[in-house]
Amino acid sequence: MDPIKAMSVLNRACPYLARTGMTALQGLADVGLSGSGMRSLSTSAVEQARCGVCPGHTGQSALLAKASECPVVGPSIRANDAAAAAKASKAVHQAPATACPYAKCADSADAKASAGANAPSKSGVAASAAAPVSHDSQEAVFDYEGQYQAKLAKKHGDKSYRYFNNINRLAGRFPQAHTANAANIVTVWCSNDYLGQSKNPVVVDAMKDALDTYGAGAGGTRNIAGNSALHLRLEAELASLHRMEAALVFSSCFVANDATISTLCSALPGCVIFSDKMNHASMIQGIRHSGAKKHVFNHNDLAHLEQLLAQYPRSTPKLIAFESVYSMSGTVGRIPEICALAKKYGAITYLDEVHAVGMYGPHGAGVAEHYDYEASLRAPVGQRIAGSLMDQVDIVTGTLGKAFGIVGGYIAASSSLVDMIRSYAPGFIFTTSLPPPINAGAVASIQYLSESQRERYLQQTHVRQLKSDLASAGIPVVPNPSHIVPVLVGDAERAKMA
């Protein structure tokens, strides 16, 4: 093909070269190819000009250098240049016979050529990946609102959409509350404020005093300006309650479980987690975030747990995560047996006492303390009781938002483990700490329930009476030994309407 005609073909095929102009292109071709004569700018000659190992070629022509800048043709040229360079070790090169896709469409309209540029090139994925993303098209953006609505429609469709009741509990009329209409008084049967500590005058007065003295907010994260004497006092109270060396307070027990499990198990090389099938979502979230290998054992199934533990040598770091009281079924965890298995197979135990702290044991430390009731009653609070069940648990996690009537979560364990979590857990480090009134109220509530047995006694008495009354009325209750009263409602939608 005549050089001028060849350049004319490229000029018409490529909108970028078309703007450059024929005169400029001819000048570039003359400069770039003067060393070997004006070689034909047919497709095969163009392919040869791209290749640095062709006989007589002294480098990429100025014309091709200009063409490689084209946003349409350029990516394909650059991809082919890279492929040709990989074959540079060959002494003889046979120029590809495949015609340039842009030369082929020279007789097509410019609009067709532009449309063809959007089609996958023969260089495949490499060329597509190298092509810059264009934001000039009129393509519609992603339908964000439509996606949100579709997810909500799914919830409505399977009847799992959550409706939040407007419940305003009245401190002077516990357990009553008013709805959105202040004149509409209802009785709250589903509160986690098990012992009514949120309206206990001792707790409320402590919070008022702290509010007057220190204000409403914490002022920052614990590592900046949010670490106060009340934080340290609260952690000392919790460590003493569980007879552990140290404790650490979080904004909630969900955060405590997520941050502790994820941080701890990612720090233990090759750690394997063994999780009870009915564990709370917060522990499941922490397990996911840890990235550690996990096994889920059937609820309270010791044989299944041991079968899983036996797969690993004692030298493998292992964590067994379970609860003392399971909130949905009311069942109680097999704490002594699980601790024995942990010792046998070299694992550490992670016991969630969220629904048990304040509720069980002579001082309200939970089910683990309740197992050694008499020994715990005799020993001074905070003193380690060798051989007790509490002494066999490695990590305890609890909440301040249920029986203690405030808000927040915590862990209690050895001082080195607590310090490691304090130093590495993002969920602890990078969040504003609990406000002073919350800390003061929690300290007062823990101390009160550590001394008073009245609230626990009355609560257990009322639970037994309620379960008996429900059974007499023919209302099905899942049997269990704890204070949880699981009532089977059947159809959720009909129950909501009722």
Hey, which residues are catalytic here? 402
Query: Any bridge partners for residue 353, and if so which?
Result: none
Question: Taking a C-beta distance cutoff of 8 angstroms, is the pair 88, 67 a contact?
Answer: no
Question: Taking a C-beta distance cutoff of 8 angstroms, is the pair 274, 294 a contact?
Answer: yes
Residue type, position 474, single letter: G
Maximum CA pair distance of the chain? 107
Query: Any bridge partners for residue 186, and if so which?
Result: 177
Structure confidence at residue 402 (pLDDT): 98
Q: What is the dihedral of CA 43, 48, 51, 53, to 10 degrees?
A: 160
Question: Taking a C-beta distance cutoff of 8 angstroms, is the pair 113, 133 a contact?
Answer: no
d(CA 309, CA 291) in angstroms, rounded, equals 19
Q: Which token pair is 28? A: 């570039």
Question: Residue 410, SS3?
Answer: strand
Q: Which token pair is 286? A: 């922490």
Residue 22 has, within 13 A of its CA and on its CB side, a CA count of 9
Structure confidence at residue 33 (pLDDT): 44
d(CA 325, CA 334) in angstroms, rounded, equals 10
Q: Which token pair is 427? A: 């969920």
Angle between helices 201-214 and 436-451 (to 10 degrees): 150
Distance of CA 253 to the CA centre of its chain: 15
Question: Taking a C-beta distance cutoff of 8 angstroms, is the pair 216, 435 a contact?
Answer: yes
Give DSSP secondary structure letters for 340-365: HHHHHHT-EEEEE-TTTTTTSSTTS-
Burial 215-239 (b: 16+ CB within 10 A, else e): eeebbeebeeebebebbeebbebbb
The edge-to-edge listing of strands for the beta sheet with 348-352 is 246-250, 409-413, 395-399, 348-352, 318-323, 272-276, 293-297
CB atoms within 10 A of CB 113: 20
Residue among 376, 314, 323 nearest 347 (CA): 314
Q: Which token pair is 333? A: 């965890």
> Pairing between strand 318-323 and 272-276?
parallel
Question: Taking a C-beta distance cutoff of 8 angstroms, is the pair 35, 58 a contact?
Answer: yes
pLDDT per residue of the chain (498 residues) written in tens, 0 to 9? 555 555 565 556 555 556 656 565 565 555 444 444 433 333 444 444 444 444 444 444 555 666 667 665 566 666 666 666 555 545 444 444 444 444 444 444 444 545 544 555 444 555 455 677 777 777 888 999 999 999 999 999 988 898 899 999 999 998 999 999 999 999 999 899 999 999 999 999 999 999 999 999 999 999 999 999 999 999 999 999 999 999 999 999 999 999 999 999 999 999 999 999 999 999 999 999 999 999 999 999 999 999 999 999 999 999 999 999 999 999 999 999 999 999 999 999 999 999 999 999 999 999 999 999 999 999 998 999 999 999 999 999 999 999 999 999 999 999 999 999 999 999 999 999 999 999 999 999 999 999 999 999 999 999 999 999 999 999 999 999 999 999 988 877 777 776
Question: Taking a C-beta distance cutoff of 8 angstroms, is the pair 393, 244 a contact?
Answer: no
234's enclosing H/E stretch is: helix 229-241
d(CA 49, CA 158) in angstroms, rounded, equals 64
Spatial CB neighbours of 115, under 8 Å, sequence gap ≥ 6: none
- pTM for this model (two decimals): 0.73
Residue among 412, 334, 425, 336 nearest 372 (CA): 336
Burial 7-32 (b: 16+ CB within 10 A, else e): bbbbbbbbbebeebeeeebbebbeeb
471's enclosing H/E stretch is: helix 454-472
The edge-to-edge listing of strands for the beta sheet with 185-187 is 168-169, 176-178, 185-187
d(CA 187, CA 191) in angstroms, rounded, equals 10
Q: Which token pair is 8? A: 């004319």
| Radius of gyration over every alpha carbon of the chain, rounded to an integer in angstroms | 36
